[in-house]
Amino acid sequence: MDSDTISLITQIIWLAIFILLITGLNQKIQMRIWAMDIRNKLNIIKRIIDEDRMRVEKIISNLGYKTPAVLVDRVLDFFVIEPVGIEPTDIIKRLDHTLRTGEGTLRRFIENSLPNVGKFERSLIETSMEILSGLNLIYKVIRHYLLTGERENNWILLMQLELVMPTIMKYVETYHMALDPFTTGKPIGDSLGPLVVYNLVEKSKMLSKRVVDDTSIIEAWLEDRRVLFVKAEGPGSNVGHPGAVINSLVEELKGSVDLIITVDAALKLEGEDTGSIAEGVGAAIGDPGPEKIAIERAATKYNIPLRAIVVKMDYREALTVMRKEIFESSLKAMEHVLRLIREETKPNSTVIVAGIGNTIGVPL
Amino acid sequence: MSYLDPYTVFTIILVIILIVYMFMETKKKPARVEYVTRELLVCYSCGFQVERDHEPGDFIGLVKGKCPRCGGDLKIKGIYSVDKSKILKAG
Ligand SMILES: [Zn+2]
């Protein structure tokens, strides 16, 4: 090869690149590469769903139901329609009604198919199926955008999809990992609130316990104060209705409550430490609205101070088996609650302490 | 040996760097941390604490065995996951 041949080859390469650029063919090639990558990841999601589905179906059939696939199929595509938002009159009431109906319907699906199964197992199956249905939704949405993008040669759509895929895969992995605690009943990061309440109850002199609306109310004597603990009824997978219960408790006591404290897990910002504790004011609860507003309304009506203690964690840590750091923080958060009670109230006053979150793995 | 002009050498080096970079990009994968579930057992009469592997069916508040120091009840205080590499296996 002499220098003339080399220069000819270089010229042809440059020319080819130039033609690719002006005809947009390079984008077509890039689009194919992106579509291939998305399809590969989609197949991974599909494999995860199939694996998880088999696990859930196995649990259901072990509990004595012969055709688990029918039940899973029915729950997989179950949906809840949000109420109208442009007309704000009693939107909270309508939302609460819709959510409770959805909750009750899912529960009845399972109760009808598995009539002899206890509350604990039922709640685990319920949540496992919700996880499965979440994964299935992610899969279907990604597939929709991939097929649309390919059919319409919409390379911007595919590019966006390719760019969000790592985040989505992280969510998928989190859901996949969350199936472990929800099939075995181990506490998760979000169980922090109920765990703090459980530890506080152990420290205090318990007077009575009742269950209202899937939520436990424990009356106890702690630090010379009458404390009403509120947490979801454990140890199944259950978030209860702490807002509605606090509201009716305050009404029951005719507003003679001196302090309401909510303890919850909060999503941390990237860079913050897992398990760091923060104090604040307001209702620390991450529901779609009805529970939170119930606490705020009760506190506002009778002018009761509303204090919050949160422990920071990320999305994955909140949904998977509780990390040791978070467990250690729960003990520190308990000390925070005790200090808050001592500082903000006098002896013989009444305090409500609510542990917000899924109480899976935490009894009472 | 006149055909290896500086321009060709530069191009070849550039291509090699590009290939090595692409290779390293595809190989790079974040190290996966493996977690195991452990449980903390506490004796409420003398404060003795011990951490063990979690066994299926165990839950918080379960009385599990006797305290080796004072003979009181050992109760499960917490169930949590720990980075597998950080556990010091004793016995
Ligand atoms: Zn002991």
pLDDT in tens, B72-91: 888 888 899 988 877 765 43
Percent of chain B exceeding pLDDT 90 equals: 11
Using one digit for the tens of pLDDT, what is the confidence trace for B50-66?
Answer: 888 888 878 888 888 88
To test the contact with chain B by mutation, choose from A1, A2, A6 the residue with the greatest count of B C-beta atoms within 10 A, namely A6
Question: What value of ipTM does the predicted structure carry?
Answer: 0.77
**Is residue A213 left, alpha or beta, with left meaning phi > 0 and alpha meaning psi from -120 to 50?**
left
Using one digit for the tens of pLDDT, what is the confidence trace for A247-277?
Answer: 999 999 998 899 999 999 999 999 999 999 9
Which of A210, A224, A231 lies closest to A360 in space, CA to CA? A231
Domain A189-355's class?
alpha beta
B45 alpha carbon – ligand 1 mean position (Å): 5
> What pTM value is reported for the model?
0.85
Going from N- to C-terminal start, the domains of chain A cover 25-184, 189-355
Confidence at residue B89, expressed as pLDDT on a 0 to 100 scale? 56
Confidence at residue B54, expressed as pLDDT on a 0 to 100 scale? 86
Contact criterion met (CB below 8 Å) for A311 and A192: yes
Confidence at residue B88, expressed as pLDDT on a 0 to 100 scale? 65
Give me the residues of chain A with pLDDT under 70, please.
1
For residue A188, list its beta bridge partners. Answer: A321
A9 alpha carbon – ligand 1 mean position (Å): 83
3-state class (DSSP) for residue A299? helix
Q: What angle do CA A75, A80, A83 make, to 5 degrees?
A: 175
- For residue A282, the distance in angstroms to the closest alpha carbon of chain B comes to 28
Name residue, tokens 């509120």: A230
Contact criterion met (CB below 8 Å) for A114 and A64: yes
To test the contact with chain B by mutation, choose from A3, A7, A206, A321 the residue with the greatest count of B C-beta atoms within 10 A, namely A321
Q: What angle do CA A329, A332, A337 make, to 5 degrees?
A: 125
* Residue A348 CB contacts under 8 Å (≥ 6 apart), including other chains: A224, A225, A226
Residue contact B40–A327, C-beta within 8 A: yes
Residue contact B79–A3, C-beta within 8 A: no
A195 interface with B at CB cutoff 8 Å: yes
Using one digit for the tens of pLDDT, what is the confidence trace for A16-53?
Answer: 988 888 888 888 888 899 999 999 999 999 999 999 99
A209 interface with B at CB cutoff 8 Å: no
- CATH code of domain B35-84: 3.30.1330.30
